[in-house]
Amino acid sequence: MSMTPTKEREPHVNISLDLHRKGAPQFLAAKISTGIAEGITSFKLRVRPGRGVCYPNICVPIAGIIDYFTAEHGCSFFPAASWRNVPVLNQSGTLRPYVHDPLASPVTHLNKVWKFSSDDHHDVVHGIIGSMRRAGEMPQGVLQGLELALYEVTDNILLHSQTEANSPSATGYVMAQYHKSEQRIAVAVFDLGQGIPSSLAKGGIRASSPSEALGVAIQRGVGDGAGAGNGLWMMERIVSRSSGSFELTSDGARYAVRHRQDSEVAAPAVSSVTPFKSGTTLVDFQLHTSRPLDIQAALDTDPINLWIDNHLVDLPTSSNQPNEALLVSVAKESRGCASRYEAKAFANMAGNLMESAPDVCILDFNGISMVSASYADELLMRLIDRFGIITVIQRLSFKGLSPTNAAMFDRCFRGRLFGPSSQRESR
């Protein structure tokens, strides 16, 4: 989006942001407030050279701040060339958050700031989790831990952020990223509600300071009385078991815990920040994807994994005893069967499902008229590389393949198993 000549001539404030600095959102809010005090409500946003890539804990509060000043003060924001020339910023929704559209299906929900309310909360989080399942190879428990933590933290906003519980005006902002090279998932959730200290006070819990309130908020069963009070506790336990990190920022206090090694009991670091308004809350957490996550040990219980349950079917055995299997409809869960790119994403999803349950996995190709050679080859290669050929033979089953598609997979499998010579011999 570029500024029109008319807009360029209007009085406006130039704001240059370093998106690698944690203080960037507070800096932005201060510059906007100064401009408003001087009667200016138009702002042109720049990014410093080489500082165009940023993480959710920066993008999300900036998006919330821009949204707030747009709605409450009639401000307008325009990207300068330095901003427009960074693709990740143009597509991030930082200037204009994404909202759920039931008629549209984005390529991915990752790397985008989403604004959500009670009406579309499930759709947004469901989209993020679905995209994460396709993004990379995840060890057992990681995706379930992410899903549990993300639903709880975002639900906290809808339940506790407003003075009126379950207020229809409650909205939040969320963004998630998968950093393959760094082997971690990064998530940030932000709201402009009443803040954690005020929320706890409603439940009769009065802390001596905002930082003390943040430490109390992550304890089990602590809340404002509108819910069970386990949302932040669950997030903290999952992060701790993952040896990850998290930060809570609310009402001028920041409570941070970073696990630098496995099984470490990390001490919290408490610091002060400058809030641009009272009541804002930022929850930032990261999970490692280099190791399995034991959900049962983290939460002292074994929660139902609905993703697995939704894919389980009973198969008859020779002894007439039911035998469970995972059933994946390729027509429903693969976005076409033509490209290596899609085969990679689908292999990630199917493989992550197999990591989560020890059952046989049936790939149902009913409804798929044509599978390209590149798709078949990439899918087989990815699954064999991940699990080994013996495990793939023992645990993976194909159903509903047309004769043409079956021949395509057979040809690719022979090529991977025996090499090019077998292809020539089979002709």
Spatial contact of 311 and 326, defined as CB atoms under 8 Å apart: yes
Which tokens in the block code for residue 386?
Answer: 């991940």
Report CA dihedral (174, 113, 169, 215) to the nearest 10 degrees.
30
Most confident of 85-89, 205-209, 216-220, 248-252: 248-252
Same domain, 77 and 101: no
> CB-based contacts of 307: which residues, under 8 Å, 6+ apart?
133, 143, 144, 147, 353, 356
Which tokens in the block code for residue 21?
Answer: 């600095």
SS3 427: coil
Range of the domain at 331: 306-426
What's the start-to-end Cα distance of the chain, in Å?
Answer: 55
Same domain, 233 and 289: yes
Quick one: 321 exposed, middle or buried, by C-beta within 10 A (0-12, 13-18, 19+)?
exposed
Domain boundary among the residues 34, 67, 95 is at 95
Q: Can you state the angle between helices 142-160 and 340-356, rounded to 10 degrees? A: 90
For the chain, the domain total comes to 3
Convert the pLDDT of each residue in 213-262 to its tens digit: 999 989 887 766 565 667 899 999 999 999 999 999 999 999 999 987 66
DSSP for 240-269, please give it: HHTT-EEEEEETTEEEEEE--STT--PPPE
Quick one: 367 exposed, middle or buried, by C-beta within 10 A (0-12, 13-18, 19+)?
exposed
- One-letter amino acid at 304 equals I
Q: Determine the Cα–Cα distance for residues 350 and 199; give it in Å rounded to an integer.
A: 41
Q: Where are any strands of DSSP class E within 218-320?
A: 245-250, 253-258, 269-272, 280-288, 312-315
Same domain, 52 and 179: no
Please state whether the predicted TM-score (pTM) of the whole model is above 0.85: yes
Same domain, 89 and 44: yes
Same domain, 207 and 233: yes
What is the total residue count of the chain? 427
* pLDDT for the residue 275: 83
Domain boundary among the residues 76, 95, 114 is at 95
* pLDDT for the residue 427: 40
Averaged confidence pLDDT in the chain: 88
Same domain, 119 and 238: yes
Same domain, 89 and 104: no
Same domain, 118 and 253: yes
Convert the pLDDT of each residue in 140-190 to its tens digit: 999 999 999 999 999 988 887 665 555 567 899 999 999 999 999 999 999
Same domain, 165 and 91: no
> CB-based contacts of 2: which residues, under 8 Å, 6+ apart?
78, 79, 84
Kind and range of the H or E run holding 317: none
Q: In what order do the strands lie in the sheet with 245-250?
A: 114-116, 172-179, 184-192, 280-288, 245-250, 253-258, 269-272
Backbone φ and ψ of 63, nearest 5°: -60, -40
* pLDDT for the residue 228: 60
> CB-based contacts of 393: which residues, under 8 Å, 6+ apart?
none
With bands split at pLDDT 50, 70 and 90, how would you rate the model's confidence at 413? confident
Q: Determine the Cα–Cα distance for residues 221 and 123; give it in Å rounded to an integer.
A: 27
CATH number at residue 21: 3.30.110
Q: Determine the Cα–Cα distance for residues 99 and 173; give it in Å rounded to an integer.
A: 10
Convert the pLDDT of each residue in 368-404 to its tens digit: 999 999 999 999 999 999 999 999 999 999 999 999 9
Task: Please compute Rg for the chain using Cα positions.
Answer: 24
Task: Evaluate if residue 298 carries a pLDDT over 60.
Answer: yes
CATH number at residue 342: 3.30.750
